[in-house]
Amino acid sequence: MATVTLENLKKSFGKTEIIHGVDIDIADGEFIVIVGPSGCGKSTLLRMVAGLETVSAGEVLIGGRPVNGVEPMDRDIAMVFQNYALYPHMSVFDNMAYGLKIGRVPKAEIRTRVEAAAEILQLGPYLQRKPRELSGGQRQRVAMGRAIVRKPAVFLFDEPLSNLDAKLRVQMRLEIKALQRKLGVTSLYVTHDQVEAMTLADRMIVMNEGTADQIGAPLEVYGNPATTFVAGFIGSPPMNFLDAAALENAPAGVSLGVRPESVRLVGTSEGRLEGTVAYAEPLGAETLIHLRTADGQALTIRQDGVLPVPAEGDRLGAVWDPSQEFRFGPDGRRLRQDR
Amino acid sequence: MEKRVTFKGLWLPILLVLPQIVITAVFFFYPAGKAVWQSLFIPDPFGLSMQYVGLGNFEFLLSDPYYRASFVTTAVFSTLVTAVSMGVALYLAVLADRLIKGSGTYRTLLIWPYAVAPAVAGVLWLFMFNTRVGVVTWYLGQLGYDWNHVLNPREAMGLVVVASAWGRISYNFLFFLAGLQAIPRSVIEAAAIDGARFWTRFRTIVFPLLSPTTFFLLVVNIVYAFFETFGVIHTITSGGPQQATTILVYKVYSDGFIGQDLGSSAAQSVILLVLVSILTVIQFRYLERRVHY
């Protein structure tokens, strides 16, 4: 168990800086999810904490100890890789015991610790199998088991669920969350899936092109996004962005964001905005309606599935509660005076 | 899924495999058959007539101390050539695999020796170690060591081993490097996080995962040491001194074409053929089980 601190952490490859300074204090036992699209530097950030990438500037502290110059093996961490990185020539037991054997843990203790981990992860019957004889979900569990037997201070997860099918992913997501709660180990978890981020995180770091755009609890990030990038990335379907100048007296370049579920459809005369229905997607529990205004702006509305579905080409108005709208400046940053 | 192509007629498929069959027949089946046949005869000293002796040639060979000595020589030679060429190649491949910049240059330079024919390689090494004008001999002389592979059997063996292994390092290096690069990076990183330092990682992860490559190279290199090193031995030592470097395949040549004992030479070829077949079968049956594919 340990705290993790990143101080103005930067990474450059040659002359190109790809991570522009990330700061965060992670509390002991906290579950932090680093989320962002591919190429935003989230994996690189994690690998710097692991010691698999060198740090160009700034400092990583684990348990208050600066570890920039410390080898991965001496950082008291365990990592779960996207492709699991199991040792293909070793049995499940040996895969989990490898780190302990190297650490010269007594044989009897290795056995009890591996068996305890296998018990938690329901791997008991598979201990003598080779990784190639296991399913994707089981391999994932072995990778988890290898991390937990070593009782590290920090768990690092690098997109551990992205090679699994959708159903298994949801199941493993819950298991990871439960396991982390039970063991209480500080965790950093990288993913590009915003649903994973929302459900797992105590706090999340939303990465955008090497910058941490926002750090906060999932609902806080969702309800109070700091930039257009965060507002657009977290939430599905994404937030609508409208040209504020077309709706109200606002300077050019300011955009007004409103989430699809905040918008209601009304008659044309009552709306803050009116448009024609481009197409409607009834999904059962809810219906997504895509409106297009006369000046070419698009607006997605998410309404309850029991409400009537408008026909394509219908002219309708849209309204929303002003407290549900967000204004962003031309630089994409939130304009704070609106609250 | 594998697609099976079926031909309608019989003539086209036969025509397509014919060149390979003809080549194999002319250059392998015919000479091999002829060798088996000839091994049952001894020619008279002028080569005018042949006398049937049954297995006489084989009986003579197996009781011949020179032939038995050649067996030992071959075992020592092929073990050394395989060990040296594979060991050095693996070492270089591990170094090249760790390089990030300039690995292409090193790779190209390391592949060059493979383009040199064994006989030419033999001559190059012979020049360097020539007892009178060789560069290396001169430097060794400066250090107080009197190099003379023409007279010293151990030095002769050392020289042919080095010359044979040298050209082979490139080939082994390429395969080892490809094998190393096929190991997923994350597996190595996982081992590093698990606490394994470089040498432990190499011993417990990299080397076992490299075993298919190692096994393949072992078979190929032993066969190379048995047969294709003829050129090197012929140019450097001609099997001497005191037959210290006469490996089996060289003895086939010297007994048959210099000693003109074609019957014995043919019998030796047959023994060699059987020996290599057995060696290959043993390797595949017993070694393959310990290989992790």
pLDDT in tens, B42-79: 877 776 777 888 888 888 888 888 888 898 999 999 99
Parallel/antiparallel/unpaired status of strands A154-158 and A77-80: parallel
**Average pLDDT score over chain B:** 86
Closest-CA residue of B relative to A52 is B189
Average pLDDT, stretch A70-80?
A: 90
Contact between A72 and B209 using a beta-carbon 8 Å cutoff: no
CB A132 within 8 A of CB A92: no
User: CA of A220: how far to CAs of A201, A202, A230, A231, in Å?
Assistant: 12, 11, 11, 11
Mutate to test the interface with A, among B194, B203, B204 (most CBs of A within 10 A): B194
The partner residue sitting opposite B205, judged by closest CB among A50, A52, A87, is A87
Q: Which residue has the tokens 């014995």?
A: B264
Where residue B100 falls among pLDDT bands split at 50, 70, 90?
A: low
Domains and their CATH numbers in chain B: 64-260 (1.10.3720.10)
pLDDT at A339: 44
CB pair distance less than 8 Å for A77 and B193: yes
Identify all chain B residues contacting A83, using CB atoms and an 8 Å cutoff: 184, 186
Phi, psi of A246 (to 5 degrees): -75, -20
A52 — contact with chain B (CB < 8 Å)? yes
Comparing alpha-carbon positions, the chain A residue that sits nearest to B206 is A87
Q: Looking at chain B, which residue has its C-alpha nearest residue A96?
A: B194
A320 and A262 Cβ atoms separated by less than 8 Å: yes
DSSP for residue A132: G
> What residue in A sits closest to B184 (Cα-Cα)?
A85
Q: Give the pLDDT band (50/70/90) at residue A216.
A: very high
Strands A255-258 and A4-13: unpaired
pLDDT in tens, A262-292: 998 888 888 888 889 998 999 989 999 999 9
Helices B211-223 and B153-181: crossing angle, nearest 10°? Answer: 150
Decide if A54 touches B, using CB distance below 8 A. no
pLDDT averaged over every residue in chain A: 89
- Token reading at A85: 């990185």
Whether A83 and chain B come into contact, CB under 8 Å, resolves to: yes
pLDDT tens track for A130-174: 998 888 888 988 998 999 898 899 999 999 888 888 888 888 899
B156-214: per-residue pLDDT in tens? 999 999 989 988 898 999 899 989 988 988 999 999 998 888 899 999 999 999 988 88
Whether residue A237 has a cis bond before it, omega within 30° of 0: yes
Distance CA A174, CA A180 (A): 10
Distance of residue B190 Cα from the nearest chain A Cα, in angstroms? 6
What pLDDT band is residue A80 in, cutting at 50, 70 and 90? very high
pLDDT of A31 reads 93
CB contact under 8 Å between A99 and B194, yes or no, is yes
DSSP state letters, B4-52 = PP--SSSHHHHHHHHHHHHHHIIIIIHHHHHHHHHTTEEE-TTSS-EEE
Nearest-neighbour CA in chain A from B95: distance (Å): 19
Partner-chain contact B186 A98, CB within 8 Å: no
Task: Spell out which residues of chain A touch residue B208, defining contact as CB-CB under 8 Å.
Answer: 89
Kindly list the residues of chain B whose beta carbon comes within 8 Å of any beta carbon in chain A: 184, 186-187, 189-197, 200, 204-205, 208-209, 292
- Give residue-wise pLDDT tens across range A13-25: 888 888 998 899 9
Angle between helices B103-111 and B153-181 (to 10 degrees): 140
Q: How far is A49 from chain B (nearest CA, A)?
A: 12
Cis upstream peptide for B241 (omega within 30°): yes
Distance of residue A85 Cα from the nearest chain B Cα, in angstroms: 5
| Rounded average pLDDT over B105-114 | 83
Q: Is the pLDDT of residue B2 over 60?
A: no
Instruction: With CA atoms as reference, report the closest residue to B221 among B278, B149, B168.
Output: B168
Selection from A257, A253, A250 nearest residue A228 by Cα: A257
Distance CA A338, CA A322 (A): 10
pLDDT tier, A337 (very low <50, low <70, confident <90, very high otherwise): low
Pull the structure tokens for residue B127. Answer: 């020049």
User: In percent, how much of chain A has pLDDT > 90?
Assistant: 37
Whole-number Cα distances in Å, B31 to A123, B38, B203: 60, 10, 46
Please state the pTM of the whole predicted model: 0.79
What mean pLDDT is predicted for residues B5-32? 88
**Is A162 touching B (CB cutoff 8 A)?**
no
Is the pLDDT at A102 greater than 60? The verdict is yes
Question: What count of Cα atoms within 13 Å lies in the side-chain half-sphere of residue A85?
Answer: 25
pLDDT at B13: 87
Cα torsion A267, A270, A275, A281: sign: negative
Cβ pair A127, A113 in contact under 8 A: no
Within 10 angstroms of residue B267's Cβ, the number of other Cβ atoms is 30
Tokens matching residue B206: 């990299």
Q: Which residue has the tokens 């297995």?
A: B55
Cite the DSSP H helix spans in A206-243: 218-223, 228-233
